[in-house]
Structure 1
Amino acid sequence: MKIPNAFNDIIKNHLNVNAAWLPITNTFQLGDYGIFSDGVFMQLGNIKEFGIEFDTAEGPDSSINFTSSETSVINFSGGAQVDVIPPTAVDAKVTMKFGNKGSFFVKSPLIKVKVMQNINQIGARLKDTEGWKRKWKVVHQVYHAKDAAIFSTIAADTDLTFSGNVKALRELNLGAASISVNTSKEMGLEMHGKAGIIALGLFKLRWLGGGVRSMDVTHQEIDVLHGEVEDDV
């Protein structure tokens, strides 16, 4: 499985939305619309181009902590292996040993969620918008991750070694900016110590029999997508 598809499966299973690719370094915004190509959301524009404005709100905070199977975590203090890193540790390190190729480590202790309000009414506007394409999806949620650590391996038996701030190491906050990381082999994906968009909530208009159902605020007539999106091209 390709890295974007595998990463999307992780995000879908843990956050119930779609992955933002590339994670963290992208520039996605609420109201962006686009298509899926090879499992990746491709932004084509923003619905504000059609004169459609919307209000925003904050959704419930979230987090993610995923490590692939066949992965071991080993703590070190002063060059010796320890069960728990002590608060006064010297030369503390955390090493993650990935047994399999294509393994992932995805962690963010805090994900702030921003949402588009009144998506039913927005869908109704889009339905009547000249030039709107039925296959276009719209971003109605953005998931902004702090202290993100996202790694995937290319080869089996790959090690990640984290060092630096003892408090962050003890809490396994391995994406903190005060933490340094060394890898034993080339990585397929490597994001560390940054903040940015990790996931997207998407919706599209629901089409039946060649047309769009009329929409109202009582019965939602849009499809909110939960990570299960087929390619459009």
Structure 2
Amino acid sequence: MGLPREFNRVLHEHLKYYAAWEPISNHFVLGNWGVIENGVFVSHGNIRDLDPALSDIIRESGVSREAFEDFRSSVTVNVRTAGEGTADLQVLDGDVAASLEFKFTERNAVLFKGSVETVKILNVDEVLGRLVSLPGWKRHFRVVVGLRRGKNCTIVAAREAGATVAFGGRAEVLRKIQAGAMVAAGDFTVHGEGATSLCIVGKEGVVGLDLRRAKVSTFSFRSDNLPLPLVAPLNEPPIGPRRLPPVTALNESPVAPCQNGSSPISRCLASFLKASALCIAVVVGTPLFVVLLLLISVVLGICSPFLLIAKLLKPCAPDCCLPFLDRLNLVTEGIIE
């Protein structure tokens, strides 16, 4: 499983939303539509470009209250000081030089820390209901109906097990990193060992997506499915109400019988049986016909059944073929009296 796919799986499992890959540096906005490729969402455009009227229809919410997210998968945390080895970061003096070390014990492990705020589309059902009427819209297309923006995020992901990322600096700065608070880039150092594919510290941007699919149902809001007008146009007779077909009782068959009293199912079954019988006759009859020719040739003393076939076909063969048959010795006079 690749790192993007695993990162998306971890976020969806812990935070209940899809990953915006790559985190922070992407350009996702509400209304993006696309598909899932290689485990992550790939945008193919915005629904406002497919239907310009959606720009006036979509109603966006304000920014929600921030929530601090802190989770890690297969990651151990150690705090080390220069003289005492491992230590408790919370009790260290703020000016003590220390190292905050994250070790990834499995491949594709993920560390995520940061404050997350949400903005979303309020009238999702109305927007999705309009999308299904667009020509070419597919069931597997997904729409971004919510964005999760991270602030002061620390996101680290490792491709291989055993990778290590260590943040060095004063204990006060390391506590801010661990708590997801704003930290100036020059206040700490980052040192990594092993295959780390993603290392983001103190950045702001989109980290997660809420995705919905606009499923094409058997009834869609197309013009040919709209009800008849209540008022008839000018110079045309009024249109009466539609007559609905009679409701079928629960104990009645919904399939109407044919004129000969048989249903379509029985006719299909009869056709299948006829075709099966014909196939069996061909498969069984061909070997029997060959065996019969062999027996006749043995009884008549003909060394090959092909001579018998040629003799039988000679009376009905055209004159131009007779010299050819004679030259090949396929027909000899006097074989059959």
| TM-score normalised according to structure 1 size | 0.80
* Alignment CA distance shift 1:117-1:12 (3 Å): same
C-alpha distance in 2 between matches for 1:117 and 1:41: 21
Percentage identity across aligned positions? 27
1:2-41 mapped onto 2 (5 Å cutoff): 2-41=2-41
Alignment partner, residue 160 of structure 2? 155
| Residues 151, 191 of structure 1: 8 Å contact kept | yes
CA distances 1:132-186 after superposition (whole Å, capped 9, x unpaired): 3332211010001111122222333222111235334225136854343210223
Structure 2 residue aligned with 1:123, among 128, 141, 150? Answer: 128
C-alpha distance in 2 between matches for 1:125 and 1:105: 39
1:75-86 mapped onto 2 (5 Å cutoff): 75-80=79-84, 81-85=86-90, 86=92
Q: 1:78 offset after TM fit, Å?
A: 4.4
- Which protein, 1 or 2, shows the higher relative CO under an 8 Å CA cutoff with sep ≥ 6? 1
| Residues 113, 141 of structure 1: 8 Å contact kept | yes
1:85-100 mapped onto 2 (5 Å cutoff): 85=90, 86-100=92-106
Alignment partner, residue 71 of structure 2? 66
Q: Which moved more, 1:123-132 or 1:46-55?
A: 123-132
AA partner of residue 211 (structure 2) = L
Q: 1:27 offset after TM fit, Å?
A: 0.2
| Residues 110, 157 of structure 2: 8 Å contact kept | yes
**Structure 2 segments unaligned to the other structure (5+ residues):** 223-337
CA distances 1:4-38 after superposition (whole Å, capped 9, x unpaired): 11111111112211111111111000011111112
C-alpha distance in 2 between matches for 1:184 and 1:174: 23
C-alpha distance in 2 between matches for 1:119 and 1:61: 22
**Structure 1 segments unaligned to the other structure (5+ residues):** 215-233
* Alignment CA distance shift 1:98-1:174 (3 Å): farther
CA distances 1:18-64 after superposition (whole Å, capped 9, x unpaired): 11111111100001111111212111111111111212113343332
C-alpha distance in 2 between matches for 1:84 and 1:190: 21
Matched residue SS, 1:22: coil
CA distances 1:185-228 after superposition (whole Å, capped 9, x unpaired): 2312222221111110011113345x5489xxxxxxxxxxxxxx
C-alpha distance in 2 between matches for 1:25 and 1:151: 14
Structure 1 residue aligned with 2:199, among 187, 190, 211? Answer: 190
Q: Which structure shows the higher helix fraction? A: 2
C-alpha distance in 2 between matches for 1:185 and 1:34: 34
Structure 2 residue aligned with 1:101, among 74, 86, 107? Answer: 107
Instruction: Point out the structure with max Rg over C-alpha.
Output: 2
Alignment partner, residue 220 of structure 1? none
Q: Which moved more, 1:178-187 or 1:35-44?
A: 178-187
CA RMSD of superposed structures (Å): 2.3
AA partner of residue 201 (structure 2) = H
Q: Which structure shows the higher strand fraction? A: 1
Structure 2 residue aligned with 1:200, among 206, 209, 223? Answer: 209
Alignment partner, residue 140 of structure 2? 135
Matched residue SS, 1:56: coil
